[in-house]
Every structure is written in C-alpha cells, then in structure tokens.
Amino acid sequence: MTKFTDLNLAPKVLKAIEDVGYESPTPIQAGAIPPALEGKDVLGIAQTGTGKTASFVLPMITNLARGRARARMPRSLVLCPTRELAAQVAENFDTYTKYMKLTKALLIGGVSFKEQDALIDKGVDVLIATPGRLLDHFERGKLILSDVKVMVVDEADRMLDMGFIPDIERIFGLTPFTRQTLFFSATMAPEIERITNTFLSAPARIEIARQATSGENIEQHVVMFKGSRRDRAASEKRQLLRALIDAEGEKLKNGIIFCNRKTDVDIVSKSLNKYGYQASPIHGDLDQSQRNATLEKFRNGEIKILVASDVAARGLDVASITHVFNFDVPGHAEDYVHRIGRTGRAGRDGKAIMICEPRDEKNFADVEALIAKEIPRLENPLGQPSEEASEAEAVKSEKPKRTRTRKRKSDKPAEEKTAVESGSADAGQDTRSEEPPKEARQERRQDRQDKPEGKSRRGRGRKDDDTKVIGLGDHLPSFIALSFDERQAG
C-alpha cells in the first residue's frame, strides 16, 4: 500500500501529516500528488469526500517552499465556489504548513475589504478566494495576478451550476500562460470539458470513481410522499421529516437537512425547534460571521441538526456526520451526490434519506439515472391517506357556494305580488327572495317574441296603429287603461 512517505513530499509537510494522524493517501491523493509535484497540469475527477483538497494543497505547499512572495502579487491561487469551501481549504493550508513559513489570504464575501487589502499588501504565497471577491479586488487595483505559478480550480462542476464559468475564464486570462493548473471536479459536464481542453496543457487525468457515483458506504433511501390536500402538503411534509428523524433514534448522532430554497431552510428550522429538535439554519443570505458561528457549533456538537441550502453541500467537512436528509429532491442531479457526500466520509458509514413529491419525480428520475442505480423505497412512517379519504375531507371542508340572482320588481308574477299585497304569504317567509316560476319566465319571453312589429320598444303604438297597448300586467289600474282607450278612440 502506498504511503505519504513514498510521494516525495517535503519533510516538513510529512511531519505535519504525521501530526494529524494520516499514514496512507486516498486514491485521488495517490494519483494526483506525483504529477502535481512534477509541475504537470492535473485533471482530477472524484466524488466528494475522497480527499481532493489535500490532493492539491500538499504538492502546492511543497513546491512553494522555495521562493518568496511580493506585495500584491500572490504566488498561487485557489478558486472555490463557496465561502465555506474556501474556508475549508484555508484550514487545510494552516494544518499542513505549521512547520513552514508560508502565508495565505482568504478573499471571501462577508469580510471587510480593508482587512483583506492589508494581507495582500504584505504579500502572500497562497491566495484562496471566491471568483466574485477576487475580481472585486482586481478591479480596485489591489491585486496583480501576473506572478501566479500555480492555479487551482476546486469543485468546477459547482462553479458551473452557480454561473461562475465566465468569471473563471476571465481569471484564467489574467494569469500567466506558463502557470501550472490543477483542476478538480466531481462530474465532467460538457462545458467543463471545454474549459479543460482550452486552459489545461496535456493534463494528467486521474479519475478514481465513475463520474457522479455515490459512496458505497452510504445507505440510501427515498420516501414517496403525496399530501392529502394542496394547502396541507407543506405541513404534512414537515411532519413526515420529523417522523423520519424520530425513526432513526439513537443512530442519528448529527445530521444535515437540505432544502432547495432559502425560505424553506428557515421554515423547516423554525418548525424543528418548535417541536423540540436542536436545529439551526445556514444559507447564503446569512451574515458570514453568523454562518461561521453556526458551523462551529455544529462541529462542536452544540447543534445536532443543520438545515442548509446547497451552499453547504460543498465545503462542509465534518467527518462524523451520520445522516443526510433531502427535504427536497435537488433540481440538479449532481447536487444529490454532493449532498449525501457530507456523510460517510473518511471510510465511515452514513445514511441518506430523501422525500420525493409527485412534482419532483422527473428530478428524481434524473438522480437515479446519474448514479446508475435504483434508490430503495422506504415506507412512509405516517402512512399515505387514501384518495377517498382525501376527497371526503376536501368536500367536508368546502363552504357552500352562494348564488345571487338579480331580480327586478317587474320580474315577479302578478299572482305573487297579489299574494304579498293581500298578506296571504306564509309567516316568516320572504317571498321577495323567491324566483318567478319557470313557466312565468317562459311566458314573458314568448310575449316579447310575439310583440307586433308596429310597436315601439317602449310599448307605445304609432298613430296609424289600431293595436291595443298590451304587456303592462293584469293588475293595471283602470284609470290608466281608460286614458289609453280615449287616445285610441280619438
């Protein structure tokens, strides 16, 4: 078996590795470190949790042991998609350079420019940054990238998902053509392959596992969920999540719950705390200091459950995470691999459970197609409501619809008006709300159709017309009829 002592690393680096307790490299480390030490470009493809960070940190600091950094001109550059991943790389750098005099600067959002500018002005050997903040410093004239000898792109597929590829291409153009490039990714999308063909020169390709495979030591399950009603589905889904957590019992030491939306992260976290679970949210809208404090509490065991968006799917390196719950099926199938990769790290066993709604079935099919295996179905611990019960509940809760009919006084039959006037209506009954009988409505309609052509719209006859005025009702007062008769006679 290969050991770190066989990889030609610097003695001080080997001493730091020994202090950590590592003796043998992971497959990706054993494959990537030798060509990186020789100064070759490296294209590393491996699933998350396999030790990719040390694959470039160890050879980079070994090669940087010779030389000295100049002000505002870093000697190496590491690009990461998220603040958490950049912070993890910085921690690895501190761990393995404890016996070396190498400096670093961490350029991420949420930290003041003034503190970062002070570190850059002193000169740093390693610059670890997210693309956006790096370009901000460059455009302000605080950074010169013409002396970069080693450039690392970590989690390139996540860069693609987050829309950083144009920034990456621009940064490549700002660095020297003679630089060494180390490119790491869990998947190899066509766009990423195009970049590697453009900016890497005859790279050593190290592919440890088939692209986008999940760890064999992670037990995976999915619960097919359908809410009883649309307005209750969200609440019932959170209830199902709590039931799944309870079902794990003592096996659940700590876990991460992934949601697709930041709003759901906050809602699920509040819901869990309401029912007595120790949970805290983490997503991109939180202040960086708050995110760091939450992660530190999670690592220390003060928080048992972390509710996160995909911002934590990359770069959250806690070796002892026992469970991952996917509250939502991820929109990108590759994110599923990175999410469940938070558990089962460093050879440990892990468990991943996902909740799939009918609207997520297409994304779920993409996940199974990507990992090339069927995820075992887990029975819903709450049971699924039958369709008959759901329909009965929906009908029961529906309010009777009110129908309003606009009526005019002239629409009422003469008989009804006569009854009201004579007081013959039943006691307590409001006859005004009753509709005219169907026969009466049809009779009036027929009367309008049979009206003589010589009549005007208002019912007044022409002077040369002998037709009597009709249609004013049987209850017409006699004096009105008399006046019309006199006019006709004249």
Query: What average pLDDT does range 102-108 have in this prediction?
Result: 93
Q: Which residue intervals of 301-435 are DSSP H helices?
A: 333-340, 361-371, 387-397, 414-422
Supply 296's token pair: 């530190």
183 within 8 A of 153, measured Cβ to Cβ:
yes
467 occurs within a structural domain:
yes
38 occurs within a structural domain:
yes
Pair 444, 389 in one domain: no
How many residues in total does the chain contain? 490
Helix, strand, or coil (residue 343): coil
For 295-330, the pLDDT digits (tens) are 889 988 899 999 998 865 555 667 688 999 999 999
Query: What average pLDDT does range 371-397 have in this prediction?
Result: 66
406 occurs within a structural domain:
no
Residue tagged 């597929």 (tokens): 157
Counting the structural domains of the chain, the total is: 3
Confidence of residue 158 (pLDDT cuts 50, 70, 90): confident
Helix, strand, or coil (residue 223): strand
- The CATH number of the domain where 332 resides is what? 3.40.50.300
pLDDT over 90 at 208, yes or no: no
Report the distance separating Cα 117 and Cα 326, nearest Å.
39
**Angle of CA points 349, 158, 207, to nearest 5°:** 60
143 occurs within a structural domain:
yes
* C-alpha distance from residue 387 to each of 226, 237, 393, 400 (Å): 10, 17, 10, 22
Report the distance separating Cα 262 and Cα 77, nearest Å.
30
Pair 296, 439 in one domain: no
32 occurs within a structural domain:
yes
Last residue of a domain, one of 176, 207, 238: 207
Pair 174, 261 in one domain: no
Pair 392, 477 in one domain: no
pLDDT over 60 at 62, yes or no: yes
Domain with 11 in it: 4-207
Q: Which pLDDT score, from 0 to 100, does residue 387 have? A: 42
212 occurs within a structural domain:
no
130 within 8 A of 82, measured Cβ to Cβ:
yes
Pair 392, 447 in one domain: no
Last residue of a domain, one of 154, 178, 207: 207
Pair 82, 149 in one domain: yes
Beta bridge partners of 107: 129
Last residue of a domain, one of 153, 173, 207: 207
Pair 155, 124 in one domain: yes
Supply 207's token pair: 């592919």
Pair 229, 369 in one domain: yes
pTM higher than 0.75, yes or no? no
Supply 423's token pair: 């007081």
For 110-157, the pLDDT digits (tens) are 788 888 999 899 999 999 999 999 999 999 999 999 999 999 999 888
Q: Which pLDDT score, from 0 to 100, does residue 316 have? A: 67
Supply 320's token pair: 């002892």
- Phi, psi angles (nearest 5°) of residue 427: -65, 140
Q: Which pLDDT score, from 0 to 100, does residue 449 have? A: 53
- Report how far apart the first and last C-alpha atoms of the chain are (Å, whole number): 129
Pair 177, 198 in one domain: yes
Pair 129, 253 in one domain: no
pLDDT over 90 at 40, yes or no: yes
Which of 254-268, 303-317, 460-474 tops mean pLDDT? 254-268
Pair 277, 372 in one domain: yes
Query: What average pLDDT does range 10-33 have in this prediction?
Result: 92
For 29-58, what is the HEC assignment?
HHHHHHHHHCCCCEEEECCCCCCHHHHHHH
Pair 365, 390 in one domain: yes
